Amino acid sequence: MPSVLIIDDEQGIRAVLKDVLEDEGYEVILAEDGYQGLSRLQTHPVDLVILDVWLPNMGGIDVLKKLKEDYADIEVVIISGHANIDIAVKAVKMGAFDFLEKPLSLERVITVVRNALALEDLRKENRTLKNSIFMEDQMIGSSRAMKKIHELIEQSAGSDARILILGENGTGKELVARAIHMKSKRVFGPFIEVNCAAIPDTLIESELFGHEKGAFTNAFARRKGKFELAHKGSLFLDEIADLSLSAQAKVLRVIQELAFERIGGEEQISVDVRLIAATNKNIEEEIKTGRFREDLYFRLNVIPIFIPPLRERIEDLDELISYFMKKYKHPKYAESKKISPEALKILKSYHWPGNIRELKNFMERINIMTEEQYILPATVNQYLGAKEKDKKDSFLYDFSDMKLNEAKDHFEKELIVQKLKDNEYNISKTAQILGLYPSNLHNKIKKLGIKIER
């Protein structure tokens, strides 16, 4: 239900407008003057303001100015008497949507309000669209590998050929997918992303194809799936190798027939969608082990784009560093930080398991955490791979991949071996120290397969 704030000092006008607009299904909030109106807005977000130009205390034009400054998204409709129509015109020039002349024609009130709200809906839609194709970063790098990737993007963007992007974590697969959409003729259509790994198998079908009301418990309303939402745009199937085999079969069918049904629906829905898929898995390996359908792979892999790991195109590091240094520069400094040659050497020989994402996080960290303007090796060592190092330093690191029972056995064994060594394999002494009966220790030594080396 859209909501409308009416700011007018005349009680009669407030009452009439409230009646009409509530009949039309809007929520109506009232204010007697500009101050009251602005304070209402702080507690109650609205979609539209109807504003009298002639107000006591703070004039309508001043209120409008404030509205445009602080609530640029809210449309404003002006009410004016015939005598001050010139002010109304000025208001429209300042960004008001339209004006209503007194005495009010109720029909016109309804039309103008409807149009204003429709415009606002369009604006919102436009914004979500812009956000959806937004690229977090420019694609930096002029190594041979990056040049090749740029070429591939240029060559393939214009067609509707399906693209499979391969690369380790954080190499920029999503960035490449977005770049392709941006350069394609579908740029004004939606870019819809599905993270196949993040959606439980039971929901993936409904997520991709949508469902009709009542198709299953909790299907309270019809819902469009991602394929439908991506109509006239691009659908980015991220982590495609994590799709279950049954979902793979369904995706394959859509690719072949360019049509599908919503779950619980009869109607065939045809869509015009360009598919871009990505994975960080070795997909050929997945095919060999039967976890990925070969026929789907062939369908998706019309144009493969492989993004090599950062360590294999380390010549891009200088450009990337200066880009991220600028990006994360603190406003209190005039210049971005510099990296000393020794520190750069460390960065160049590092293996970057998290690729560009890891580099980006590292650059952000040193910009936030250090005052140092000239980054020295010590700082790099301190912040590089901090997470990995923290983990390795932790006593639990060795157990991190184990089930509890396995971890317990492991720990028990390590401790017993250590104590036995400390006590030169003297069983009764070791048992005493561990608070066990010697027979008990014997049993454990056998069960855990501990060798007594003497």
Ligand X SMILES: Nc1ncnc2c1ncn2[C@@H]1O[C@H](COP(=O)(O)OP(=O)(O)OP(=O)(O)O)[C@@H](O)[C@H]1O
* Residue numbers at the binding site for ligand X (CB under 6 A): 136-137, 139-141, 167, 169-175, 280, 356-357, 360
Residue 171 C-beta: closest distance to ligand X, Å: 5
Q: Which lies closer to Mg ion via its Cβ, residue 174 or residue 358?
A: 174
Q: Which lies closer to ligand X via its Cβ, residue 171 or residue 379?
A: 171
Residue 243 C-beta: closest distance to ligand X, Å: 15
Residue 443 C-beta: closest distance to ligand X, Å: 47
d(CA 144, CA 129): 33
Q: Which lies closer to ligand X via its Cβ, residue 193 or residue 207?
A: 193
d(CA 188, CA 232): 9
d(CA 389, CA 362): 13
- E strand map for 159-316: 163-167, 191-195, 210-211, 223-224, 234-238, 259-261, 268-270, 274-279, 303-307
Q: Which lies closer to ligand X via its Cβ, residue 173 or residue 274?
A: 173
Q: Which lies closer to Mg ion via its Cβ, residue 282 or residue 440?
A: 282
The label of the residue with tokens 């990006």 reads 327
Interacting residue ranges for Mg ion, rule: CB under 5 A: 174
Select from ligand X, Mg ion, none the partner in contact with residue 91, using the beta carbon and a kind-dependent cut-off of 5 to 8 Å.
Answer: none
Q: What are phi and psi of 102, to 5 degrees?
A: -85, 145
Quickly list DSSP for 124-154.
HHHHHHHHHT--SS-----SHHHHHHHHHHH
d(CA 246, CA 243): 8
Per DSSP, helices labelled H in 133-215 are 144-157, 173-183, 201-209
Q: Which lies closer to ligand X via its Cβ, residue 357 or residue 419?
A: 357
Select from ligand X, Mg ion, none the partner in contact with residue 167, using the beta carbon and a kind-dependent cut-off of 5 to 8 Å.
Answer: ligand X
Residue 166 C-beta: closest distance to Mg ion, Å: 12
Quickly list DSSP for 76-122.
EEEEE-GGGHHHHHHHHHTT--EEEESSPPHHHHHHHHHHHHHHHHH
Residue 139 C-beta: closest distance to Mg ion, Å: 14
> For Mg ion, which residue has the nearest CB?
174
Select from ligand X, Mg ion, none the partner in contact with residue 69, using the beta carbon and a kind-dependent cut-off of 5 to 8 Å.
Answer: none
Select from Mg ion, ligand X, none the partner in contact with residue 171, using the beta carbon and a kind-dependent cut-off of 5 to 8 Å.
Answer: ligand X
Residue 276 C-beta: closest distance to ligand X, Å: 12
Q: Which lies closer to ligand X via its Cβ, residue 60 or residue 172?
A: 172
Residue 274 C-beta: closest distance to ligand X, Å: 18
> For ligand X, which residue has the nearest CB?
172
Select from Mg ion, ligand X, none the partner in contact with residue 342, using the beta carbon and a kind-dependent cut-off of 5 to 8 Å.
Answer: none
- % helix, strand, coil for the chain, step of 5: 50, 15, 35
